């Protein structure tokens, strides 16, 4: 680990220094990495010196897998400090596994989690706390930090902000991609009042300069929990980074291609989608001649979601094919293969996902295969070519697929353009820009007031 040196500033110029903390940062290929990548790049583009604390490259090459094309698009001015990280969940060498783990990996993980939470109440990642604290202080001593922004999960990413605030008065922002105490799928509170997690979160939220959430329902849930701090809460939606290129592809009466791009975790109702698709193919000659292409990882970690793996045997007979992961630089070419999109998401009124914005940016018809109460429905409610379902019954999904197939055939280039234009409201820089400007003002005001860095 090496500490960064400040970027030379011209006379009179003050480049604020952001310490950005994200366990998953490129080349990590995890689904949450795009927000981290875009946020760090946006601060750098806005004239900040940015130092990122993240996990070592080997953590990703030997577990989740990597996307080097994304890594190449990290702003070269950003200093990346890779903080040593060790967790059993990321130990993929079977020779290092005890027999008990090989025999009952799920149970072993539960028992091991207790050990990992000794220093911070977070499974798998809690043990990172001491190394993160040291790294944050080391960076601050070398190049004083004006602001810390932690991107969770993991929530241990909030620790550097907490430490630098306690020791040096540095303000910090908490950025939640999901939530800590709220299960965004079930809506249940997962950590009881008084638990270590509840105490930690309250302490962190109390002292935070701002807290970001990805959608309004998650913000409201936290506002109810921390009413005296709700004025510091902001929705910073995910948005999309660049619209997929327009294509000249025209849907064909001979058969359409429905596409899904995204991580297929166990929460994604692929089984429901397949049931609905099978039924739709019996009803529509067009769909009987059509195909589904699934692209993305089969889980958040580097190992497959076995519920899907088990269903793959029936894919071919139903016109479904799985194509593996997509690198960031190739995503536009993949969207160009599709006539319509399948937005399959886990159920939960707090679930937005990141891909909904990119889907919208294509202008293609979108079939929503998720609970209608999902927050993603709020994003697409006024979309020009959206086909939601009232429930996840095969009949309902089949109806939506048939309707979307007609829309895909009938969509004119002008209508596609209009749909893309409608989606420009979800460009990520429209989400981040105002927040970064506001933080810049806060940092400059502190500096003008003589607050020591």
Residues 242-261 that bind other proteins (CB under 8 A): none
Of residues 263, 267, 315, the one with CA closest to residue 293: 315
394 contributes a contact to other proteins by CB under 8 A: no
Of residues 322, 252, 315, the one with CA closest to residue 289: 252
Torsion of CA 109, 111, 115, 120, to 10 degrees: 70
Residue 166 CB, nearest distance to other proteins (Å)?
36
Residues 6+ apart with CB under 8 A from 365: 339, 340, 341, 385, 386, 387, 404, 407, 408, 411
324 contributes a contact to other proteins by CB under 8 A: yes
215 contributes a contact to other proteins by CB under 8 A: no
Which positions from 280 to 299 touch other proteins by CB under 8 A, shown as an x/- string? ------------------x-
Out of 76, 194, 227, 313, the residue judged to bind other proteins by CB under 8 A: 313
301 contributes a contact to other proteins by CB under 8 A: yes
Residue 316 CB, nearest distance to other proteins (Å)?
8
CA triple 55-127-41, angle to 5 deg: 30
327 contributes a contact to other proteins by CB under 8 A: no
Residue 267 CB, nearest distance to other proteins (Å)?
14
Comparison of 63 and 352: residue with beta carbon closer to other proteins: 63
306 contributes a contact to other proteins by CB under 8 A: yes
Comparison of 68 and 445: residue with beta carbon closer to other proteins: 68
114: helix, strand or coil:
helix
CA distances from 255 to 278, 288, 291, 334, 402 (A): 15, 8, 7, 17, 12
Which positions from 84 to 103 touch other proteins by CB under 8 A, shown as an x/- string? --------xxxx-x-x--xx
DSSP 197-225: HHHHHHHHHHH-SEEEESSHHHHHHHHHH
Task: Assess contact for 222 and 198: CB atoms under 8 A.
Answer: no
266 contributes a contact to other proteins by CB under 8 A: no
Comparison of 198 and 301: residue with beta carbon closer to other proteins: 301
62 contributes a contact to other proteins by CB under 8 A: yes
Out of 69, 117, 252, 303, the residue judged to bind other proteins by CB under 8 A: 303
Neighbouring-strand partners of residue 353: none
Task: Assess contact for 22 and 101: CB atoms under 8 A.
Answer: no
Place of tokens 């019954």: 393
What token pair was written down for 92?
A: 């993929």
41 contributes a contact to other proteins by CB under 8 A: no
Comparison of 307 and 418: residue with beta carbon closer to other proteins: 307
The DSSP code for 362 is H
Residue 401 CB, nearest distance to other proteins (Å)?
24
Residues of the shown chain interacting with other proteins in the complex, contacts defined by CB under 8 A: 60-66, 92-95, 97, 99, 102-107, 110, 298, 301-304, 306, 309-310, 312-313, 322-325
């Amino acid at each position: 680990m090496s500490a960064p040196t400040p970027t030379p500033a011209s006379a009179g110029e003050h480049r604020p220094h952001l310490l950005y903390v994200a366990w998953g940062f490129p080349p990590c290929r995890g689904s949450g990495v795009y927000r981290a990548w875009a946020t760090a790049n946006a601060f750098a583009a806005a004239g900040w010196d940015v130092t990122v604390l993240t996990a070592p490259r080997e953590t990703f090459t030997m577990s989740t897998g990597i996307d080097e094309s994304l890594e190449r698009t990290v702003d070269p001015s950003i200093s990346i400090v890779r903080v040593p990280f060790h967790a059993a969940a990321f130990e993929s060498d079977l020779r290092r596994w005890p027999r008990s783990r090989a025999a009952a990996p799920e149970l072993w993980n539960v028992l091991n989690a207790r050990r990992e939470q000794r220093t911070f109440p977070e499974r798998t990642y809690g043990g990172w706390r001491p190394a993160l604290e040291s790294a944050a202080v080391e960076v601050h001593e070398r190049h004083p930090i004006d602001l810390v922004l932690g991107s969770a999960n993991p929530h241990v990413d909030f620790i550097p902000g907490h430490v630098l605030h306690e020791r040096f008065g540095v303000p910090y922002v908490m950025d939640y991609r999901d939530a800590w105490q709220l299960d965004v799928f079930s809506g249940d509170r997962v950590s009881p009042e008084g638990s270590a997690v509840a105490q930690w979160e309250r302490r962190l939220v109390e002292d935070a300069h701002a807290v970001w959430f990805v959608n309004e329902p998650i913000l409201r849930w936290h506002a109810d929990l921390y009413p005296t701090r709700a004025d510091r809460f902001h929705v910073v939606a995910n948005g999309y980074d660049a619209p997929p290129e327009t294509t000249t592809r025209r849907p064909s009466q001979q058969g359409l291609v429905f596409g899904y791009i995204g991580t297929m975790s166990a929460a994604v109702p692929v089984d429901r989608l397949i049931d609905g698709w099978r039924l739709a193919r019996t009803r529509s000659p067009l769909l009987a001649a059509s195909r589904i292409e699934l692209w993305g990882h089969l889980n958040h970690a580097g190992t497959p979601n076995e519920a899907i793996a088990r269903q793959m045997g029936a894919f071919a007979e139903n016109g479904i094919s799985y194509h593996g992961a997509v690198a960031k630089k190739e995503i536009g070419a993949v969207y160009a293969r599709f006539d319509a999109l399948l937005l399959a998401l886990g159920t939960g009124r707090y679930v937005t996902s990141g891909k909904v914005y990119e889907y919208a940016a294509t202008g293609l018809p979108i079939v929503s295969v998720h609970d209608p109460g999902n927050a993603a429905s709020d994003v697409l409610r006024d979309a020009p070519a959206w086909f939601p379902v009232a429930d996840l019954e095969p009949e309902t999904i089949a109806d939506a697929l048939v309707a979307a197939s007609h829309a895909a055939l009938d969509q004119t280039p002008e209508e596609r353009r209009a749909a893309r234009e409608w989606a420009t409201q979800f460009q990520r820089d429209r989400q981040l820009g105002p927040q970064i400007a506001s933080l810049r003002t806060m940092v400059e005001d502190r500096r003008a007031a003589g607050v020591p860095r």
